[in-house]
Amino acid sequence: MAKQPQPISPLKNFFAGGFGGVCLVFVGHPLDTIKVRLQTQPKPQPGQTPLYSGTFDCFRKTLVGEGVRGLYRGMAAPIIGVTPMYAVCFFGFSLGKRLQQRKPDDVLTYPQLFAAGMLSGVFTTVIMAPGERIKCLLQIQAATGETKYSGSLDCAKQLYREAGIRGVYRGTVLTLMRDVPASGMYFMTYEWLKNILTPKGKSVSDLSVPRILCAGGLAGIFNWVVAIPPDVLKSRFQTAPAGKYPNGFRDVLRELIREEGVASLYKGFTAVMIRAFPANAACFLGFEVAMKFLNWVAPGL
């Protein structure tokens, strides 16, 4: 295994992680919108056809009915959240690695990298949960034909007015169930792929852009293979009317299995997989480029 990089400074992590997150959202949000609409579309009545027959049908109907802006609906909430979220995400991963090192130059095993990634998932949930709640509500709003929220801020205000802070953070447990194991897989896979793709005698920090894109994109795919089932439950729970699922995700899971079968836990799979590679490739490339720039302009920061 190649030598592990030293933990980076929190300030550099903030800017580099935030820039990587912005790259991820901009590239991946259109297919995230498709994913959420597929996951939350109502079950058709007997004799009726589903609102969307699949990923490409949903994409076509969204584009025809709402234009390109429809694909980017609800993007303000994740954009606002990505800078602190990805700062905390990458900082959490670095902290998780450092806590497991006895000496600064210790090389961590892949299970240790997985554990460090899981810590990152715990850190990001505090920021991720309300942003996900707002994003999902705005993404399905246009599909239902109602205009309850005029934007992200209005949505947050209404949620807080209706149910307080608990309304804004609804779905936090499911966000944790999704992000903790998925983040472990995400970072472990990225580090593993970087080591594999590093030519013999070269440093991991000298990887070419295509190799970084490959490692980041594949890490995103591995991340979502783990994350999709709890993500489906989260989307359903966060967009359901208040009181529909009194026992939380257990009620959502029972309803889905009973009415639509186990396959329903992988709704939006195609959209997620199509999105995962380019979005996460953009994220890691943005992060690596930003880190190199910060190390060049402020090496002692």
CA angle 262, 273, 142 (to 5 degrees): 80
Q: What is the mean pLDDT of residues 239-267?
A: 87
Per-residue pLDDT tens over the stretch 199-221: 888 888 888 999 999 999 999 99
Per-residue pLDDT tens over the stretch 28-67: 888 888 888 887 887 777 778 888 888 888 889 888 888 8
C-alpha Rg value of the chain to the nearest Å? 20
- Given a contact cutoff of 8 angstroms between Cβ atoms, the answer to whether 210 and 192 are in contact is no
Question: DSSP per residue over 63-124, as a string?
Answer: HHHHHHHHHTTT-HHHHHHHHHHHHHHHHHHHHHHHHT-SSTTPPPPHHHHHHHHHHHHHHH
For the record, the structure tokens of 7 come out as: 């933990």
Q: What is the mean pLDDT of residues 238-249?
A: 85
For the record, the structure tokens of 225 come out as: 């293979």
Is the confidence at residue 3, as pLDDT, over 50? no
Is the confidence at residue 181, as pLDDT, over 90? yes
For the record, the structure tokens of 24 come out as: 């991820």
- Given a contact cutoff of 8 angstroms between Cβ atoms, the answer to whether 219 and 192 are in contact is no
- What does the domain layout of the chain look like in residue ranges? 10-198+205-297
Query: Given pLDDT bands bounded at 50, 70 and 90, which one contains residue 143?
Result: low
Q: What is the mean pLDDT of residues 105-126?
A: 90
Q: What is the mean pLDDT of residues 107-132?
A: 90
Q: Indicate the pTM of the whole model.
A: 0.77
Is the confidence at residue 81, as pLDDT, over 70? no
Is the confidence at residue 7, as pLDDT, over 50? no
Of the candidates 25, 19, 190, 213, the one whose C-alpha atom is nearest the C-alpha of residue 97 is 190
- Other beta carbons less than 10 A from residue 197's beta carbon: 18
Query: Given pLDDT bands bounded at 50, 70 and 90, which one contains residue 142?
Result: low
pLDDT of res. 116: 93
pLDDT of res. 123: 87
Is the confidence at residue 72, as pLDDT, over 60? yes
145 vs 31, which has greater pLDDT?
Answer: 31
Is the confidence at residue 254, as pLDDT, over 80? yes
Q: Which fold has domain 10-198+205-297?
A: Mitochondrial carrier fold (1.50.40)
pLDDT of res. 4: 47
